[in-house]
Structures are given as structure tokens and as C-alpha cells.
Amino acid sequence: MAELRKETSQEMGLHDEQLKGRTQKKFFSIDESENLTYFHSFDVDTSKTATIDALDMTPREINREIRELMEKGIGDITVDNPMSRHGVGVGILNRLNLTFSDSLGYFGCGLIDGPNVHIKGRVGWSCAENMMAGTVVIDKNAGSTFGAAIRGGDLVCKGSVGARTGIDQKGGTIIVGGKTGAFSGFMMQRGRMIVLGDAGMNLGDSMYDGTIYVGGEVEELGVDCVQADMTELDVRYLTEKLALYGMKTPRGVEKMQKHVSGKMLWNYANLEPNEKKLIL
Amino acid sequence: MCGIAGIIHKKAGKGVNIGQQMTSMLQALKHRGPDSTGYAMYGKGNGNQILRFKVAEAADLEGSYDIHATIKHRLEIVNSRLTELGVKVVKKESPTEYAHRYEVEFSGDMKKVADFVEDVEGVEILSIGNSLELVKDLGDASVVSNQYGLNDFNGTHGIGHTRMATESDVDIRSAHPYWAYPFSDVAVVHNGQLTNYWTNRRSLERSGHRFSSNCDSELIAVYLADRMSQGDDLETAMKGSIDYLDGVFTYLVATKDQLGMAKDVMAAKPMVVYEGEDMIALASEEVAIRTLFDHRIDTFDPYHGEVKVWQN
């Protein structure tokens, strides 16, 4: 491992790199307000409403308009005609009631921390990626990598979703009303995934932790994903969580299958090639 | 990463303006691939065979002082070879100096025609069929559709492609769609990378198939042609391709009355499907399909290893 250059390391774990004589990142300062507050988080009133007609707007214009409305304290925003555009509703870091009257494209509602979002349509790939808190409810289907790397909150799709749902999930809850595709829960690290329909092949492949509940059939379990016994706590949790979103599984939550990590971590116990050489 | 799109009308009657519909979808996918755009569209046909071919690359026009004479000379040889084989050309169109469309009367072996014409240096058959019109060139969908007059194309179905070149050059030869030589009216577009291209290509070449480019996507067209020549129907051939092809892919294939879609077992490449009563539309992203509607639509993602075929 390369030795850290002591002259560039700073207090509080922050350090800069000098590249071609130019400082790339500002030094930490206790006097800068952005180091003490949650940047771009607004105090909004959910009784104040506004509607945006996004028919002829670019994603950047839509996001900017949402931000400007939040700056004015408006806490209930409806976006009409999002037209399946990508990257809309992203980076919202405060409480907000946000409704999209139709479908979104890729990376919708990513990097959010707090808003309650209702999408009255479908979403493309990577919806709510890296979500920290809040709720996102989708009325129809969703594409692949649904809820990739989410840390918290509830992400709910009432229809079916594509492959690699909850890849790298680090917390929160993902709920799928229909089917989920291959490699769902791949490298899952924490949190819960609830699938009311069938799950595709390699479910929970290489998961470290977390829990995956499946109401339908599982095509095939992935490496290191094992079935576990349902407990009374699981049943109660599922019953109450699904009731929040008016969702049910036809066979009853008691008959759902529970999956967890086998903790063998097959893919991560192997030594790197150069380490193997050292041993040999 | 490339974008692909397709559309099929179940009740097309005298035809729908699929040229405009495909352009609208492909233009919305421009961000997925700005290098070239291609169309394989199916009209009603009038009984004649449609021969689409090019006698040079678009880039050749900038690379040589005598290219215009070369193009003229190549075209003369093509015409003479067609006459020699008894092919009667009833209509000639030249959307560009290097790309040509002939309507021909011929009831013989079109494979022989294709082989004889392609034997001329620099000449490539883009497609042969009764209803297939295969057009591909450099630039985005609006550029290509204007160049080739596709905005008023009436037909029943079509597939298209916007290419971001990764495995081969930015040229017409490597652009999609690929015609499934020697089958009339069969064309393929692909999004992804095939990792067993060379192994399978060598095997198919030993079986007598020809490849016109070094683009991995051509393997799909040639494989389907191979399977169908051995009696497989389109759906069976496509299902076989899921195991035969290694890598990540979603592809669309069209015949004179069918549109098919296949997705690899990892489901690594996107595809969104709208299935309406009269029309099915598919694209790498919903944003493309959405350009066809002024109202909400329901769509879904096909699953890993899934093959679907629609009939018009």
C-alpha cells in the first residue's frame, strides 16, 4: 500500500491532493456554513401546493423548477407530463410530497433523502438509486436495477420489476407487487426486500446480509443465499409493512419464503492472485 | 451502448407511416448512439424484389480524388452483372451517390445474384426482399431519414438502431441493421457485446456463410439465417440463440410478417415493450416509445432469456 504523504493529510480525516500545482478540493474550514448544514435542504410547508407542466421541459429544467419551488417553501408538488424523461426528481434532501402524473425514465428519484414520491406510471432503470430516506411508490412496472444501493426508506413498485433489483442494497425496504428478474438482491448488504410474485434466477447472489422475502416461486438461489425459517416477527413485520401500501400476497404472508446470507462469502474469501503467489 | 427500437402494426391495412414513427423513436435514442442510424422497414411490396446496395462508404467520398469515377465504374459493373444473370431492373433510385435502391423482376436464385454483385470490389448488398427496405448511414435519425426520404414510408413494421461504435469502425458496413443473407426480408438489430463472436464466426464460415463486416452483431443475423436454412422457424431459431450467443445482448429481428425480440440470460441490456391492441412498440428506453403517444401507456421489461415473437 502506498504511504500517505503526511504533508497533504489534514485534520478530521480530510486531505487534499496537489495536482500540477493546483488544489483540487477546498480545505476543511469550521467557519464555512456548508460544513455544518445539510446543503440544499429546504424547510417546506406541505399545505402549499404547485403544479409543473413538464411537457416541453428538459430534465434539468424540471429539477431546477422543483428546487425553486422548494426554496419558496412549497411542500406539495405535482409534475404533469414527465414523458418518461431520465434523471428527474433527483437529489431532493428534505420532506416533500412529490407526484409524477406519468412514467419516468432512467435514474428517476435517485439520491433522495426524505421526500414522499408517488409515480402514477412506470419507471425505467435504476429508480431511487442511493435513496437515503422517504418513500417512493410506483403504480406500474419498473425496469432493472430498481433501488440499486438504497440506504433507507421504502421503495415500492406495485407492478413487476426487471433484473438486479436491490443490487448492493445497504438498507431500507424494497417492495415489489409482481415479479422480480434475475440477480435480485445481488451483493445485498442490509435491509429487506419483499417480492410478492416470483423471483428470477440467482436470487440474493453473494449477499452479505439482509433479508429477502418471496411470495411466489424462486427460479434459483444465487451463491451463498439460503432459505431461513419464517418467525412470528417476520409475519407481523410483513403484515404491517404491506398494509401501509395496501398490498397483499394471495397465499398469505405466512407462506412467503425467507432468504438470508449463508455467510460463507464464497466470492470474497479468495485471495488476490499476487497474494496467492506470496503463499506459494 | 447503442439503442434499438421496433414497431409492428397488427391492423396496418394499406400501411402506416412507420418511417416517421421509427424516426421519432430513433431520434429519442440518439444519446445511446450518435455514430450511425439504420432502419429495416417493411412495406406492402408490389411483387418485385427490392435490392438495396452500396458501392462505397460515405467516408470514401472525402478520401480520394477519383472516387466519383470509381463509384461510377462499380455501378456499371453491378448493372452489367445483373443483366448477365437475367435480372430485369424496373426502377432505379439513388438516395446518395454510394447507396442505391433497385426494384427488380427476377424469379431465380437471389443468393447467386447477391454473391455475384458483392464480388465487385467495394460493393455490399444491404438487403434483398419483397418488402424489406434496409437503410443505414452515418448520423442521427433525422439526418438519415431526410437523406433517404424515409419520413413518408408506409408499411406494417420495422426495426432500427442508433449505434455507438465499440467493437468496430464508424462506417456503414458496421452499422445496423444486418440483413440475414441470403434470406429475403430478414433483418437484425442488436444492443450489446458478443464474446464468442470469432469462434462462432469461424464455425459458420466453414459452413459456407459469409460475413460482410467485423461487427459482432452480424453473427446474430448469420446464425439465424443458418438455423432457418435448416428448417427452424423464427422463434425456434431465436430461442437457440440464447445459448449459442455468449455475452450481453438484446436484439430485434424482423421478417416479412413478424417481429421478434430476445434478451440474454443476464438481462444486462435494456428493452421496454408496449403491447397495445393494434400495435406493439419496443425500444431500449421508454422515452422513445413515449414519442408515439399523447397519452399514458403501460409498458414492461422482458425477462432474462426471454424470446417473444409478434405477427402482423
Cβ neighbours of A85 in B, within 8 Å: 287
Cβ separation A183–B266 shorter than 8 A:
yes
Q: Are residues B167 and B229 in the same domain?
A: yes
Domain harbouring B61, CATH code: 3.30.70.1110
Q: What secondary structure letter does DSSP report for B300?
A: B
Query: B194 — alpha (psi -120 to 50), left (phi > 0) or beta?
Result: beta
**Three-state secondary structure call for residue B6:** strand
Kindly list the distances between the CA atom of residue B179 and the CA atoms of A106, A220, B139, B242, B302, in Å, as whole numbers in the listed order.
31, 37, 20, 19, 24
Of B1, B2, B52, B178, catalytic: B2
Residue pair A65/A44 in contact by the 8 Å Cβ criterion: no
- What span, in angstroms and rounded, lies between the C-alpha atoms of B255 and B312? 10
Beta-bridge partners for A175: A156, A194
Residue B83 cell numbers, joined: 443483366
Cβ neighbours of B293 in A, within 8 Å: none
Residue A10, min C-alpha distance to chain B (Å): 41
Residue pair B248/B268 in contact by the 8 Å Cβ criterion: yes
Domain that holds residue B63: 46-129
Cβ neighbours of B299 in A, within 8 Å: 103, 122, 140-141
Residue pair B160/B177 in contact by the 8 Å Cβ criterion: yes
Instruction: Kindly give the residue spans of alpha helices, DSSP state H, lying in chain B.
Output: 18-28, 67-84, 110-118, 141-148, 197-206, 218-229, 234-244, 286-289
Q: Are residues B191 and B288 in the same domain?
A: yes
Q: State phi, psi for B225 to the nearest 5 degrees.
A: -60, -40
Q: Are residues B139 and B274 in the same domain?
A: yes
Is B2 tagged catalytic? yes
Residue pair B302/B34 in contact by the 8 Å Cβ criterion: no
Tell how strand B49-54 and strand B124-129 pair up: antiparallel
Last residue of a domain, one of B101, B129, B157: B129
Q: Are residues B254 and B158 in the same domain?
A: yes
Closest CA to B137 of B102, B111, B100: B100
Predicted-complex ipTM score: 0.83
A180: closest chain B residue by CA: B303
Residue A238 cell numbers, joined: 410483513
Q: State phi, psi for B74 to the nearest 5 degrees.
A: -60, -40
Report which secondary-structure segment, H or E, holds A70.
Answer: helix A59-71
Q: Are residues B78 and B40 in the same domain?
A: no
Chain B segment 240-299 residues within 8 A of A by beta carbon are 265-268, 270, 272, 285-287, 289-290, 296-299
Give the model confidence (pLDDT) of A160-203 as tens digits: 999 999 999 999 999 999 999 999 999 999 999 999 999 999 99
CA angle A219, B297, B277 (to 5 degrees): 85
Residue A66 cell numbers, joined: 422543483
Q: Are residues B168 and B202 in the same domain?
A: yes
Cβ neighbours of A143 in B, within 8 Å: 270, 272, 301
Q: Are residues B294 and B245 in the same domain?
A: yes
* Domains identified in chain B, total number: 2
Query: B247 — alpha (psi -120 to 50), left (phi > 0) or beta?
Result: left
CA angle B114, B120, B125 (to 5 degrees): 35
Q: Are residues B282 and B255 in the same domain?
A: yes
Which pLDDT does position A275 carry in this prediction? Answer: 62
Cβ separation A200–B303 shorter than 8 A:
yes
Cβ neighbours of A103 in B, within 8 Å: 286, 290, 296-297, 299
B301 touches chain A (CB under 8 A): yes
Last residue of a domain, one of B129, B162, B191: B129
**Three-state secondary structure call for residue B67:** helix
Residue A111 cell numbers, joined: 439520491
Which pLDDT does position A36 carry in this prediction? Answer: 75
A121 touches chain B (CB under 8 A): yes
Residue B308, min C-alpha distance to chain A (Å): 16
- What span, in angstroms and rounded, lies between the C-alpha atoms of B83 and B230? 31
**Domain coordinates in residue numbering, chain A:** 41-279
pLDDT one digit per residue (tens) for chain B, 312 residues: 799 999 999 987 778 999 999 999 999 999 999 999 999 999 988 889 999 999 999 888 887 788 999 999 999 999 999 999 999 999 999 999 999 999 999 988 888 999 999 999 999 999 999 999 999 999 999 999 999 999 999 999 999 999 988 777 888 988 999 998 888 899 999 999 999 999 999 999 999 888 888 888 899 999 998 999 899 999 999 999 999 999 999 999 999 999 999 999 989 999 999 999 999 999 999 999 999 998 989 999 999 999 999 998
pTM of the model: 0.86
Q: Are residues B39 and B51 in the same domain?
A: no
Domain harbouring B264, CATH code: 3.60.20.10
Q: Which of B268, B287, B304 sits opposite A105 (nearest CB)?
A: B287
Residues A41-279: name the CATH superfamily.
Answer: Glutamate synthase, alpha subunit, C-terminal domain (2.160.20.60)
Residue pair B161/B176 in contact by the 8 Å Cβ criterion: yes
Last residue of a domain, one of B103, B129, B155: B129
